[in-house]
Amino acid sequence: MSRGPRALLGAAAAALALACAPARAGMVEGPYLIWFNLAGDASADQALHDYTHLEPSVDACWNSGALLLIGNYPPTITAALVERAVIRREPGAQKRLRTLLRTTFEDFRDGYDGVIVVPKGRKPMLMSFGSDGRLRTRTAIARSGEVDWPDAFCEVQPPIRRKP
């Protein structure tokens, strides 16, 4: 074989590899979320761990490009700030949290789409605050009367607002 056909085969192999690769140009992976369990409910932590570690499916709201930060939070995003912004709904704290969610951190440069919170209360529920500034709340009790953390988690997930 001369150099011409080898180069042609190499180009064809490269084109085939690109065609088979998932298209991500202009797309943003995620969501990137921060989990705060202010109620200390271990069943919520376990249910979300199990759900986010399942094999991704078409029906799931979670995917392999998503991130759920459960510890080692950025030092400026504290439980106290999250409580003031999400639970107490203080406008100043909400503004601060929204700014921080969009901030570039040393070890994480993309920012976050929001926080998901398990508040203290009589019934299991989830709340979220997104980088879009919107609060979302959902009880974690299904119509069957059973606790369904994954369904509530999917319902309160903030939209991805990070730019590609």
In a domain, 147, yes or no: yes
pLDDT digits 0-9 by tens, 71-100? 888 889 999 999 999 999 999 999 999 999
Where the chain has pLDDT below 70, the residues are 1-27, 105-109, 163-164
In a domain, 96, yes or no: yes
Alpha-carbon distance 128 to 87, whole Å?
Answer: 10
- The CA–CA distances, whole Å, from 80 to 98, 106, 116 equal 15, 22, 14
pLDDT of residue 111: 86
Number of domains comprising the chain: 1
Alpha-carbon distance 153 to 54, whole Å?
Answer: 14
Alpha-carbon distance 139 to 105, whole Å?
Answer: 32
pLDDT of residue 1: 46
pLDDT of residue 56: 72
pLDDT of residue 55: 81
Among 16, 10, 44, smallest CA distance to 123 is for 44
Domain carrying residue 80: 26-156
In a domain, 17, yes or no: no
Q: What's the first-to-final CA gap in the chain, in angstroms?
A: 43
In a domain, 21, yes or no: no
In a domain, 128, yes or no: yes
DSSP state of 22: P
Write out the H or E segment, with its range, that includes residue 79: helix 79-82
In a domain, 85, yes or no: yes
Q: The whole model's pTM is what?
A: 0.79
In a domain, 53, yes or no: yes
